[in-house]
Structure 1
Amino acid sequence: MSADEILDVVDENDEVIGQSPRGEAYARGLRHRCVFVLARDAEGRIFVHRRTPAKLVFPSLYDMFVGGVVGMGESYDGAALREAEEELGVRGLPRPVPLFKFLYDNGSQTWWSAVYEVRCELPVKPQVEEVAWHDFLRPAELERRLTEWEWVPDGLAAWQRLRESGLPLS
């Protein structure tokens, strides 16, 4: 999605209260919707990637989720499948399974965040516009890298909530 794509602006209860171009929503700190998809391969390893320097938000940082903004009128479920297929560069993924939803707010940026999981047993070919580097890591290796690499803060918030949820990570 470009900075001109229109997003739904939502309130503290995740109810739509208006629309805004994505670039304006980011610049003005307008609350909108995002999806985070934990993609696992056939061995249960997690897709980890470094974002490209051209990304509008959190350029060049590492992320353990694929995903992005939910477009105007789009459902969380639809956005999760679209974003996972786009970023992984595959078609025909199973529907991502919803895990939980939370409000991310760092004081200047805020969005409702729906977290999903999907099994990707297809060969991945990530979008070069989105992904500068990628690999599938075992959960223990990902945990070790948390203190070594610079991670997107919203992904870290989602990862922390996933760890606290009691859902299995390995």
Structure 2
Amino acid sequence: MTTPADEILDIVDEHDQVIGRSPRGEAYTKGLRHRCVFIQARDAEGRLFVHRRTPTKLVFPSLYDMFVGGVVGAGESYDEAALREAEEELGVTGLPAPRFLFKFLYDGGAGRTWWSAVYEVRCELPVRPQAEEVAWHDFLTEAEVERRLPEWEWVPDGLAAYQRLKAHRPGAST
């Protein structure tokens, strides 16, 4: 039986060029740069999908996140990973293709660095998040998320993506 730690990832350089492959667990342990996708999911009313990660997650267990997403598998494109991860984490099928917004190199220090592609998608389907991934979830307004930022412990890469997304849309509600 394979585990998430066994999943093979492309290892990339500072220019996002593939330089090798490694199992996810080894990439995390050795601090190897890889690729991730962050998808901001909104419901029909425009509220953001927010969730708390399960305590069994390899990275940032039990923290809150305002994105769904995850690692890009070896040989997989960012676009393919964004749709796969969004459907998996939301527990839906038939989502429209998430819309690519921008990419940045996240550097959380201590060997935690990955290329991060940020997307958005509208999910008007009833969600059934994966129990292995999501301990709690809800759709919150932008104002509710902003109120919770200082109160809840957020995944640092998701928080970095959220701040960049707000800067990416100056003057607009994200």
Counterpart code for 1:153: P
Instruction: Say if 2:16 is the partner of 1:14.
Output: yes
Runs of 4+ that moved beyond 2 A: 167-170
Give the distance between the partners of 2:6 and 2:138, measured in 1 at CA: 31
1:78-127 Cα offsets, whole Å, 9 max, x none, are: 00000000000000000000010000011120000000000000000000
3-state SS in 1 of match to 2:4: coil
Partners of 1:68 and 1:106 in 2: how far apart? 16
TM-score of the superposition, structure 2-length normalised? 0.96
Confirm whether residue 106 of structure 1 aligns to residue 108 of structure 2: yes
Partner of 2:169: 166
Alignment equivalent of 1:57, drawn from 38, 56, 59 = 59
TM-score normalised by structure 1 residue count = 0.98
Number of equivalent positions: 170
Number of the residue aligned with 2:98: 96
Matched AA of 1:53: P
Query: Which blocks of at least 5 consecutive residues in structure 1 are unaligned?
Result: none
Which residue type is aligned with residue 149 of structure 1?
Answer: W
Identity of matched residues, % = 79
d(CA) in 2 for partners of 1:135 and 1:97?
A: 22
The Cα of 1:130 is off from its aligned counterpart by 0.2
Q: Which residue of 1 aligns with 2:139?
A: 136
